[in-house]
Structure 1
Amino acid sequence: MNTTYNTIFINGQAFNCYIYMSLKEVLIYLEFELNSIVVEHNNNIIHITELDKTFLKPKDKIEIITIVGGG
């Protein structure tokens, strides 16, 4: 079986994902809580409603900021 991957960069680290994966699928695979993060895709903040409409290309850059509550 010949599977094609994209190499993207998440918080500066190389990550291989299937070519047809959406940003939402990658975040779920990495076990992020979608309601507790801010995601930047190639220097643009992505609204949570756009995660499943954003598909990744080779060398895309993803930055993920986790929101932590507390006192």
Structure 2
Amino acid sequence: MSTPNESIQLTLNGEPYAMTAGLTAADLVEQLGLGGRRIAVEINEQIVPKSQLAATPLAAGDQIEVVHAIGGG
């Protein structure tokens, strides 16, 4: 179990990323300044529905991809 303020290492869009242990995917989205934007989040090759981001804890070693939806025509 992680202790408060402990840092964990993730891979975010192919790059190393450190964040506080015990946070969720929704916390990560907020840290990245993407709250309220149209994005898709994939953790360890599984897409996480937006409704489940707050209930999805992140763990050391997770492979995370965050993709921005781009409109166009």
TM-score calculated relative to the size of structure 1? 0.88
Distance 1:3 1:24 in 2: 18
Q: Do the aligned partners of 1:11 and 1:62 also contact (CA within 8 Å) in 2?
A: yes
What is the RMSD computed on CA atoms of the aligned residues? Answer: 1.5
Residue identity (%): 24
Q: Which has the higher helix share?
A: 1
Distance 2:35 2:5 in 1: 28
In structure 2, give the amino acid aligned to 1:57: A
Q: Do the aligned partners of 1:10 and 1:63 also contact (CA within 8 Å) in 2?
A: yes
In structure 1, give the amino acid aligned to 2:20: Y
Moved over 4 A (4+): none
Say how many residue pairs are matched.
70
Match of 1:51, SS state, is helix
Match of 1:25, SS state, is helix
1:70 aligned to 2:69? no
Q: Do the aligned partners of 1:34 and 1:48 also contact (CA within 8 Å) in 2?
A: no
Question: Could you say which residue in structure 2 is the equivalent of 1:20?
Answer: 22
In structure 2, give the amino acid aligned to 1:8: L
User: What per-residue deviation string (whole Å, max 9, x for no partner) do you get for residues 5-63 of structure 1?
Assistant: 11011101111111111110111111114441111011100000100001111010101
Question: Could you say which residue in structure 2 is the equivalent of 1:38?
Answer: 40
